[in-house]
Amino acid sequence: MKASIALLPGDGIGPDVVTQAVSALDAVALRFGHTFEYRTALLGGCALDETGNSFPPETERTVLAADAVLLGAVGGPKWDDPKAVDRPERGLLALRKALGVFANIRPVKPHPIVRDATPLKPHLMEGVDLIVIRELLGGLYFGQPSERRVGQAGREAVDTMVYTEPEIVRILRVGFELARSRKKRLTSVDKANILSTSRLWRELATEVAADYPDVTVEHILVDAAAMYLIQRPASFDVIVTENMFGDILTDEASVLAGSMGMMPSASLGDLSEGGFRRGLYEPIHGSAPDIAGQNKANPIATIQSAALLLRYSLGLEAEARAIEDAVDEVLAAGARTADLAKPGEPVIGTDAMGERIADAIIRAR
Ligand code: IPM
Ligand code: MG
């Protein structure tokens, strides 16, 4: 197969980890006889520095022309001025919007080898295998107005939470379909005791559930969900929730995965008539400016995001597995980046971890 992949390394450790994900993709190409063509473009702080725009038109053209998009991370203290008109994070939101990727899929399946990297008691970690589906294009992230202004009491600010029925229904359907292909349990997370958007969400979840009688549905308030994720993580299968709740709950869920450095994500759009579905793949971690360029970051979240890219955007299941198996093998052999190592355990760098995974992909031939 021949495929074009847009690379957006971004800021901080983004370029460090994307380089290693490309090595893994190259290893897959070699082993399975595919050709991947890469186009690199600017996004975030680096784009602001070079063009004055966090999501330049050229980047938009590049991502829209590609079969799939692999992103590192954006942001850093350099661009943190709260008064700035453009910010790296705005670029990321504009990118998600331009691609129309409304379904953010964040799997949490703790690797047995790094289970003791989590602060949770081992018995709670038994059987944890859940997926959070986060709505990515609505809610507080995009609602208007969102602004600072001066009111009667002085400075004030407003953000708007708005959801339409089609936006809610399409994300719920992604959740139900996925639950159907797994353990058939769906948890819909909202704040229906307070928010109107959540009451609409719950009403629609109940309606859509009628089309999926084989799926067991529970509705949980987001504050309780935060607690249950730690108390009984193994009880969840598919969790579906709105944008901001999903943002917060997935950072919490990453604790189950041992490290943020282990959490990949896929953001998918609608299936087009031609059977094409746009996809954006990125680790859930940020740009970690404190360790950028120091060969310290864990590249596994990005390498596993590349595996999701192969699976969801290119339909290459065996190839995706090859990456995931290689990660398993290398971890089982004891390779640990700093975030995974126990005190006293030897630590390897970003490049060495990436090289070992790429080697394992090719050796499995
Ligand atoms: C994430 C990140 C982003 C988000 C930031 C960087 C804008 O936290 O992907 O979870 O809030 O969506
Ligand atoms: Mg987040």
Q: What is the pLDDT of residues 172-219, one digit of tens each?
A: 999 999 999 999 999 999 999 999 999 999 999 999 999 999 999 999
Has this prediction a pTM greater than 0.75?
A: yes
- Structural domain boundaries of the chain? 1-110+261-365, 119-256
Q: Does any ligand 1 atom lie closer than 6 A to the CB of residue 284?
A: yes
Residue 89 beta carbon below 6 angstroms from any ligand 1 atom: yes
Is 296 known to be catalytic? no
Nearest alpha carbon, ligand 1 atom 4: 247
Domain 1-110+261-365: assigned CATH number: 3.40.718.10
Q: Are 243 and 138 in contact (CB under 8 A)?
A: yes
Ligand closest to CA 90: 1
**Helix or strand run (H / E) with residue 277:** strand 277-281
> Of 34-48, 150-164, 195-209, 271-285, where does mean pLDDT reach its minimum?
271-285
Is 81 marked active-site?
A: no
Tokens 């290693």 identify what position?
20
What is the mean pLDDT of the segment spanning 87-110? Answer: 96
In testing the pocket of ligand 1, which one of 54, 71, 87, 92 has its CB within 8 Å of the most ligand atoms?
92
Q: Using CA atoms, how far apart are residues 279 and 268, in angstroms rounded to an integer?
A: 5
HSE at residue 268, side-chain half, CA atoms within 13 A, is 24
Question: Does the Cβ of 43 fall within 6 Å of ligand 1?
Answer: no
pLDDT of residue 364 exceeding 90: no
d(CA 239, CA 218): 10
Residue 322 Cα to ligand 2 midpoint, Å, equals 28
Pick the atom of ligand 1 nearest to 251's CA. 10
**Catalytic pick among 11, 16, 67, 141:** 141
- Cα(286) to ligand 2 centroid in Å equals 8
The CATH number of domain 119-256, selected from 3.40.50.10860, 3.40.50.300, 3.30.420.40, 3.40.718.10 = 3.40.718.10
Does the pLDDT at position 111 exceed 90?
Answer: no
The answer to whether residues 226 and 249 touch, using CB atoms and an 8 Å cutoff, is: yes
**Residue 202: per-residue pLDDT:** 98
Predicted confidence at residue 122, as pLDDT, reads 87
Task: Name residues with Cβ closer than 5 Å to ligand 2, which is an ion.
Answer: 247
Smallest CA-to-CA distance from 185 within 135, 117, 129 is with 129
For atom 12 of ligand 1, the residue with the nearest CA is 247
Catalytic residue status for 49 = no
Predicted local distance difference test score (pLDDT) of residue 136: 98
26 is catalytic: no
- For a ligand 1 pocket test, name from 241, 247, 252 the mutation site with the most ligand atoms within 8 angstroms of its C-beta: 247
What pLDDT, on the 0 to 100 scale, is given for residue 271? Answer: 82
Both structure tokens of 194: 């307070």
> Which protein residue's CA is at the shortest distance from atom 8 of ligand 1?
247
| Helix/strand/coil for 190 | strand
The catalytic position among 16, 190, 237, 247 is 247
One fold for 1-110+261-365 and 119-256: yes
- DSSP assignment letter at 101: -
Q: Tokens for 72?
A: 């590192």
308 close to 268: Cβ distance less than 8 angstroms: no
In ligand 1, the atom with minimum distance to the C-alpha of 89 is 7
**Is 191 one of the catalytic residues?**
yes
* 247 CB near ligand 1 (under 6 Å): yes
